[in-house]
Amino acid sequence: MKLFDLSLKFNGFPIEKAKSVLKAIQNEKDFSDYVETKKQEIVSYHLKHNPFYKTFAKNINVIDWNTIPVMTKRDLQQPLANRLSEDFSKKSVYINKTSGSSGDPFIFAKDKFSHALTWAGFMDRYNWYNLDFNTSKQARFYGIPLNKKGYYKERIKDFLSNRYRFSVFDLSDAQLEKNLKKFESTQFDYINGYTSSIVQFAKFLQRRNIVLKDVCPTLKACIVTSEILFEDDKKLLEAHLGVPIINEYGAAELGLIAFQNTNGKWMVNNEDLFIEILDENNQILSYGQEGRIVITALYNKAHPFIRYDLGDIGKLSKDSTAKNPILGALIGRTNDIVMLPSGKKAAGLTFYYVTKTVIEDGGNVKEFIIEQLKIDTFKISYTSREELSREKIKDINKAIDTYLESGLSIVFERKESLKRSNRGKMKQFKSYL
């Protein structure tokens, strides 16, 4: 029985129609014409039917894409009723809220066909690895709402989606041992979840000298999402999970943005989304240039996401084409920028990566996060079996001097556990400037 498809249909999401439309999009002979047509259609629709967008994008030329303003999350931080198109009500749409990882959370809406098309896209990509939402058993490393209503709602969704949820709030060895026992007794097809939590499970397996595929032979793949995957962590996962590691990039309000194919390329979803890379002046950058990721939802008629600045920094590969854009890199969030006393700027994950290469050598440190307290002062909080030695601290300071700049003050604090969001995500760098 196709429980997942049935649950979508039961809730009014036309998944069969969405699958058919997706296939037709993929078979478009002139893809550039298709994209240009859909861009003009969605802008014209919202200019006609959405009062909020009429005001936001007044005096634009639909044919000249560069005249269309870029919208940010703060533009959308107003009551949802103000932003819904005239043909829709709260009862006739899918409503959710963003994760808030950017610091600017808000509630959004998608019309039901648009939401079904999002799921059709996920299903299509998972099929690349012979994974089926209806039949493949998922080991899910995600957070879960702690209020009773939200908790049971997620548990019901887990049942309908054929998945078992592991806690990401407790990553102690005792809990990870229980996780391992569950893998021994369950025929999981794949793992899906937050990068940092799955990495912690892999480190536990490494300490035990265990390859998960040997314990759970049905396991086919691991899909990591929501947090950056570093190359050394990927190697660790490959070694101790024993299956292909797949990078997924998405956003609650947009759905699937990019998904790694079987050749290791991060293929951008250009079927129901249009992705641009813009500079600070909203000018379009060429393939290979790094800038702000700005996205247009081509099918969402209930709520405009047109030239929507997601808050992420990345670039499209030079090998990209209109038909097959490839995400060359996902650098981090725009609000995760390190400001240094010399005036130099760096992505927060650069600081994190430099420290990570030194701090995890030897396997003592389990996890760590970095906070910028002042322009020249950073705090590194970490969990470990033993406190960092003076020699190790000296090595970290030396690496920071080399890769960022000298004269920075680094404060170290060992903790029993590190703070996660209420959904279980780990924010690895934060600036208080």
Read off the pLDDT of residues 361-396 as tens digits, 9 standing for 90 and up. Answer: 556 787 888 889 999 999 999 888 889 889 889 988
For residue 328, CA distances in Å to 168, 265, 289, 428 come to 29, 8, 9, 22
Q: Are 326 and 268 in contact (CB under 8 A)?
A: yes
Distance CA 40, CA 31 (A): 14
Q: Other CB atoms closer than 10 Å to residue 82's CB: what's the count?
A: 11
pLDDT for position 384: 85
Q: What is the pLDDT of residue 171?
A: 80
Mean pLDDT of 9-37: 96
Query: Stretch 278-288: mean pLDDT, rounded?
Result: 95
Selected residue with higher pLDDT from 33 and 194:
33
pTM for the whole thing?
Answer: 0.83
Is it true that 3-330 and 337-431 share their CATH fold? no
Cβ partners under 8 Å of residue 133, min gap 6: 4, 5, 119, 122, 123, 126, 161, 162
Token pair listed for 120: 């059709």
The predicted-structure confidence for 218-266, as pLDDT tens digits, reads as follows 999 999 988 788 888 899 999 999 999 999 999 989 999 999 999 999 9
Identify the pLDDT of residue 101.
Answer: 53
Q: Which of 10-24, 43-57, 67-81 has the lowest mean pLDDT?
A: 67-81
Q: Where are the chain's structural domains?
A: 3-330, 337-431
**Residue 39 pLDDT grade (very low, low, confident, very high; cuts 50, 70, 90):** very high
The pLDDT confidence band at residue 357, using thresholds 50, 70 and 90, is low
Closest CA to 69 of 362, 296, 286: 296
Assigned CATH class of 337-431 = alpha beta
What average pLDDT does this structure show over 161-183? Answer: 89
Of the pLDDT bands very low, low, confident and very high (cuts 50, 70, 90), residue 27 is: very high
- Give yes or no for residue 103 having a pLDDT over 60: no
Percentage of residues in the chain with pLDDT exceeding 70?
92
Range scoring the smallest mean pLDDT among 96-105, 117-126, 277-286: 96-105
Task: Strand 308-316: give its sheet, edge to edge.
Answer: 273-278, 291-297, 308-316, 327-333
Burial class (CB in 10 A: 0-12, 13-18, 19+), 405: middle
According to CATH, the superfamily of the domain at 3-330 is ANL, N-terminal domain (3.40.50.12780)
pLDDT at 144 over 90: no
Exposed, middle or buried, 258 (CB in 10 Å: 0-12/13-18/19+)?
Answer: buried
Question: Is the predicted pLDDT of residue 351 greater than 80, yes or no?
Answer: no
Query: What rounded mean pLDDT belongs to the chain?
Result: 90
Q: Decide if pLDDT at 274 tops 80.
A: yes
Which tops the pLDDT comparison, 78 or 348?
78
Cα(266)–Cα(256) distance, integer angstroms: 12
Distance CA 272, CA 270 (A): 6
Alpha-carbon distance 296 to 56, whole Å?
15
pLDDT at 1: 65
Q: Which of these ranges, 7-21, 22-36, 336-350, 366-380, has the smallest mean pLDDT?
A: 336-350
